[in-house]
Chains A and B, each alone.
Chain A
Amino acid sequence: MAAPCMSCGAAASYRLFLAGRVSFAREQGLWKAAASGLQTGTRCQILRLKHSPGVTKKNVAALRRESYTVDFIKKQIEEFNIGKRHLANMMGEDPETFTQEDVDRAITYLFPSGLFEKRARPIMKHPEEIFPKQRAIQWGDDGRPFHFLFYTGKQSYYSLMHEAYGKVLHVEERQDQLRAKGLFSEKPKTKDPIGSRWLIKEELEEMLVEKLSDQDYAQFTRLLERLSALPCDAAEEEFVGRFRRTVTIQSKKHLIEPLQYDEQGMAFSTGQGKRKTANAEAVVYGHGSGKIEINGVDYLLYFPVTQDREQLMFPFHFLDRLGKHDVTCTVSGGGRSSQAGAIRLAVARALCSFITEDEVEWMRQAGLLTTDPRVRERKKPGQEGARRKFTWKKR
Chain B
Amino acid sequence: MKERRGTPNLHEVGRIMLKGMTRLVSRVHKLDPGRFLHLGTQASQCLVAHLNNQVPNESPRAISRTLENDPAKHGEQHVGRHYSIPAQDLETALPHGLPPRFVMQVKTFNEACLMVRKPALELLHYLKNTNFAHPAVRYVLYGEKGTGKTLSLCHIIHFCAKQDWLILHIPDAHLWVKNCRDLLQSTYNKQRFDQPLEASIWLKNFKTANERFLSQIKVQDKYVWNKRESTEKGSPLAEVVEQGIMRVRNATDAVGIVLKELKRQSSLGIFRLLVAVDGVNALWGRTTLKREDKSPIAPEELALIYNLRKMVKNDWQGGAIVLTVSQTGSLFKPRKAYLPQELLGKEGFDTLDPFIPILVSNYNPKEFEGCIQYYLENNWLQHEKAHTEEGKKELLFLSNRNPGLLERLCAYL
Instruction: Scan residues 318-364 of chain A and give those whose CB is less than 8 A from a CB of chain B.
Output: 318, 320, 322-323, 362
The contact of B402 among A297, A300, A307, by CB within 8 Å, is A300
Within 8 A of B (CB), among A252-306: 290, 297-301, 304, 306
Residues on B with beta carbons closer than 8 Å to the beta carbon of A34: none
Q: What is the bound-complex CA distance between A147 and B8, given in angstroms?
A: 88
- In whole Å, how far is B368's beta carbon from the nearest beta carbon of chain A? 11
| A318 and B400 within 8 A (CB) | no
Q: Does B30 contact A (CB under 8 A)?
A: yes
A223 touches B (CB below 8 Å): no
Q: Are A300 and B397 in touch, CB under 8 angstroms?
A: no
Task: Give the residues from 2 to 39 in chain B that come closer than 8 angstroms, CB to CB, to chain A.
Answer: 23, 27, 30-31, 33, 36, 38
**Residue B41 at the chain A interface, CB threshold 8 Å:** yes
> Is A310's CB under 8 angstroms from B396's CB?
no
Would you call B409 an interface residue if the criterion is a C-beta within 8 Å of the partner chain's C-beta atoms?
A: yes
Contacting residues, chain A, for B405 (C-beta < 8 A): 300
Count of interface residues, chain B, beta-carbon cutoff 8 Å:
26
CB distance B397 to A322 under 8 Å?
yes
| Chain A residues positioned under 8 Å from B144 (CB to CB) | 301
In the complex, the answer to whether B409 meets A306 with C-beta atoms within 8 Å is yes
Residues of B within 8 A of A323 (CB): 393, 396-397
| Residues of B with C-beta under 8 A to A367 | 36
Identity of the chain B residue whose Cβ is nearest the Cβ of A301 in the assembled complex:
B336
Kindly state whether residue A219 has any CB partner on chain B within 8 Å: no
Contact indicator A306/B41 (Cβ below 8 Å): yes
Q: Is the interface on chain A under 10, 10 to 19, 20 to 34, or 35 or more residues?
A: 20 to 34
The reply to whether A322 and B398 form a contact with Cβ atoms under 8 Å apart is no
Q: How many Å lie between the Cα of A307 and that of B409 in the bound state?
A: 12
B40 at the interface (CB under 8 A from A): yes
Tell me, in angstroms, the Cα distance from A3 to B287 when the chains sit together.
82
In the bound complex, what is the Cα–Cα distance between A318 and B400 (angstroms)? Answer: 18
**Please, how many angstroms separate the alpha-carbon atoms of A150 and B258 in the complex?**
113
- The answer to the question of B47 belonging to the interface, with a C-beta cut-off of 8 Å to chain A, is yes
Q: CB of B43 within 8 A of chain A?
A: yes
CB 8 Å contact bits of B388-413 with A (1 = contact, 0 = none): 00100110111110100100010000
Is A313 within 8 A of B397, CB to CB? yes
Q: By the criterion CB–CB under 8 Å, are B396 and A299 in contact?
A: no
A318–B30 CB distance below 8 A: yes
- A316, B396: Cα distance in complex, Å: 13
Check: B358 CB closer than 8 A to any chain A CB: no
**At the interface, yes or no: A314 with Cβ under 8 Å from chain B?**
yes
* Closest CB in chain B relative to A149 CB, distance in Å: 45
**Which of B41, B335, B394 contacts A317, CB < 8 Å?**
B394
State which of A290, A314, A365 has its C-beta within 8 Å of the C-beta of B396: A290
B197 interfacial by beta-carbon distance below 8 Å: no
Interchain CB contact under 8 A, A362 and B27: yes
Q: Which residues of B contact A314 (CB under 8 A)?
A: 38, 47
Does B46 make an interface contact (CB < 8 A)? Answer: yes
Known pairs A309-B398, A322-B390, A322-B393 / 14 extra A-B pairs, C-beta < 8 Å: A290-B396, A290-B397, A297-B336, A300-B399, A301-B336, A306-B398, A311-B38, A313-B394, A313-B397, A316-B397, A322-B394, A322-B396, A322-B397, A323-B397
Q: Which 6 A-B pairs have the closest CB atoms?
A: A322-B393, A300-B400, A366-B36, A313-B397, A309-B398, A320-B23
